[in-house]
A and B are shown apart, each in its own frame.
Chain A
Amino acid sequence: MNTIYFLIQQMMYFSIPLLIVALGAMFSECSGVINVGLEGTMIIGGFSGVLFINMFQDRLPGQPILLIALIISALSGIMISLLHAFASINMKADQIISGTAINMFAPAFAIYVARMIRTVQQIPFINQFRINKVPILGDIPIIGDMFFKKAYITTYIGFAILIISWIVMYKTKFGLQLRSCGEHPQAADSVGINVYKMRYIGVAISGALGGIGGLVFVIPTSTNFNATVAGYGFLALAVLIFGQWKPFRIMFAAFFFGLMKTIASAYSGLSFLTAVDIPSEIYKMIPYIATLIVLAFTSRNSQAPKAEGIPYDKGSR
Chain B
Amino acid sequence: MNTLKRYLNSEGMESFASSVFAIIIGLLVGLVVLLISNPQQAFEGFKAILLGGLTDMKNVGQVLYFATPLILTGLSVGFSNKVGQFNIGASGQFIVGAYAAVYVGVKWTFLPGPLHCITALIVAMLAGALWGLIPGILCAICHVNVVISCIMMNYIGMYMVNFLVTHTIFDSLKNQSLPIKANAVIPKMGLDNIFKVGNSPSSVNGGIFIAVIAGIIIYILIEKTKFGFELKACGLNPDASKYSGIDSNRTIVISMMIAGALSGLGGALLYLAGSGKSIEVVDVLAPEGFNGIPVALLGQNNAIGIIFAGIFVAYLTVGGFNMQLYNFVPQITDIIISVIIYFGAFFLLFKEFIRSHKPAYSGNVNDEVTAQKESAGGN
Contacts and interface: CB of A to CB of B under 8 A. Distances in A.
Nearest to B335: A108
A270 B207 CA distance: 47
Nearest to A83: B342
Given A98-B342, A105-B338, A237-B148, 16 more contacts: A83-B342, A94-B345, A96-B86, A111-B331, A112-B332, A112-B335, A116-B37, A116-B329, A228-B284, A230-B283, A238-B151, A241-B148, A281-B163, A291-B148, A292-B138, A292-B149
Interface of B: 33, 37-38, 86, 88, 138, 142-145, 147-149, 151-156, 159-160, 162-163, 167, 283-285, 290, 293-294, 297, 329, 331-335, 337-339, 341-342, 344-346, 348-349
A97 B294 CA distance: 9
Nearest to B337: A104
Determine the main DSSP class of B at the interface with A: helix
A91 B349 contact: yes
B138 A97 contact: no
Interface residues of A, number: 46
B277 to A, nearest CB: 21
A302 B145 CA distance: 11
A152 interface: no
Contact of B152 (A91, A112, A238, A284): A238
A46 to B, nearest CB: 16
Contacts of B338: 101-102, 104-105, 108
A315 B342 CA distance: 24
A281 B159 contact: yes
Nearest to A279: B163
A171 interface: no
A299 B144 contact: yes
Contacts of A174: none
Contacts of B331: 107-109, 111-112, 115
Nearest to A100: B293
Contact of B339 (A105, A112, A300): A105
B345 A101 contact: yes
Nearest to A111: B331
B86 A93 contact: no
B157 to A, nearest CB: 9
A238 B144 CA distance: 13
A48 B196 CA distance: 43
Contacts of A83: 342
Interface of A: 36, 83, 87, 91-94, 96-98, 100-105, 107-109, 111-112, 115-116, 228, 230-231, 234-235, 237-238, 241, 279, 281-282, 284-285, 288-289, 291-292, 295-297, 299-300, 302
Given A97-B293, A295-B148, A299-B143, A112 B329 contact: yes
A104 B346 CA distance: 17
Given A237-B148, A237-B151, A300-B142, A105 B342 contact: yes
A231 B290 contact: no
A87 B156 contact: no
A96 B348 CA distance: 15
A295 B138 contact: yes
A2 to B, nearest CB: 28
A16 B342 CA distance: 30
Given A36-B147, A285-B155, A297-B142, A104 B345 contact: no
Contacts of B88: 36, 96, 100
Given A91-B345, A97-B297, A296 B144 contact: yes
Contacts of A93: 345-346, 348-349
Contacts of A234: 151, 154-155
Contact of A231 (B142, B148, B155): B155
Contacts of B329: 111-112, 115-116
A238 B160 contact: no
Contacts of B38: 116
A285 B160 contact: yes
Nearest to B294: A104
Given A104-B334, A295-B148, A299-B142, A288 B345 contact: no
Nearest to B333: A108
